[in-house]
Structure 1
Amino acid sequence: MYAINHRVGIQAPSEQVYEALTTNDGLMKWWTNDVSGAGDVGAVIKFRFNGSGPDFKVAKLVANNTVVWQHSGNVPEAWKGTEISFQLSSDGQQTFVNFSHSNWQQATDFMAHCNTKWTVFMLSLKEALESGQGKPFPNDISIDHS
């Protein structure tokens, strides 16, 4: 099994970071501007990019600490069986987000692409919380010309 891992420090309280990961409005500020369904454990979040995109079931929530999503329905084939988690911790000055997209079956070019895009979106999350302006799709940084 393979995983994508990132760690980013954000100058914002863990409560604000958690809200950005668990509400439609919060998610739309950093990942894609078309999100619906965010909510409690069991909710299915629909992330849309030009009308299509992945769905994730909220598998675990621990307030201001843990967010875990599992694929549900419409996801790229390589994402089936994968899990996305955000672990939050604070040192008093910043909240660290330990991000993981785990359980990949193969390390492929698509995984490498997703690794880079997750970097783009983790930095968008940081910008959204620190400056009030993230770069969610379609305003994110493009990493190829397709």
Structure 2
Amino acid sequence: MDSFSIYHNLTILSAPQKVFEAITHPEHLNHWWTKKCSGIPREGEIYNFFFTAEYDWYSEVVKCKTNEQFYISMTESDADWDSTTFGFDLKAISDGTQLNFSHRGWPQCNEHFKRSSYCWAILLLGLKSYVEKGIIVPFEERQ
């Protein structure tokens, strides 16, 4: 069976360590993605991504290499997301960090897939603004 994937690449003008912290530590995730998050950046650990009572999702860390890689497999979310894994690959470059993002395993190229691809692009720009400039977009104003 075919599956579909989302890919976004961007440069963040900051060291990989700072980017890694922003994508793995719950207190940082809450500044650009989740409303409330818990988890430890270590393989086999469980993350809870809370957005609203309706969107209270769980996942497992499937790959974690400090300052280089962080991958999450969704375990309790919705029908489209449950089959997916998203992750970040980080590489130090002369002016900061090259971040390569992927969200793989989508069962269909449906409206939810398309909307999620758009949302990830907006959220990743929020991540960039947060890491580079300390800008926090209030949860209610995020896509």
Answer yes or no: same fold by TM over 0.5.
yes
**Count of residues paired in the alignment:** 140
1:45 is paired with a residue whose SS is: strand
Name the structure where helix makes up a greater proportion of residues: 2
Q: Are 2:56 and 1:59 aligned?
A: no
Cα pair 1:121 1:135 within 8 Å, conserved: no
- Superposed CA deviations along residues 62-116 of structure 1, whole A, max 9, x for unmatched, are 111100100122x110112211010011212121110000011110011001001
Q: Matches of 1:95 and 1:134 in 2, distance apart?
A: 20
Sequence identity percentage: 27
Post-superposition offset of 1:137: 2.6
Q: Which one has a larger percent strand, Structure 1 or Structure 2?
A: 2
Structure 2: gaps of 5 or more residues: none
Q: Where does 1:1-146 land on structure 2 (aligned, <5 Å)?
A: 1-51=3-53, 52-73=55-76, 75-135=77-137, 137-141=139-143
Q: Distance in 2 between matches of 1:139 and 1:38?
A: 26
Contact 2:41 2:64 in 1 (8 A): no
Q: Indicate the RMSD between aligned Cα atoms, in angstroms.
A: 1.3
1:53/1:120 CA distance change after superposition, 3 Å: farther
Unpaired runs of at least 5, structure 1: 142-146
Distance 1:38 1:137, change over 3 A: farther
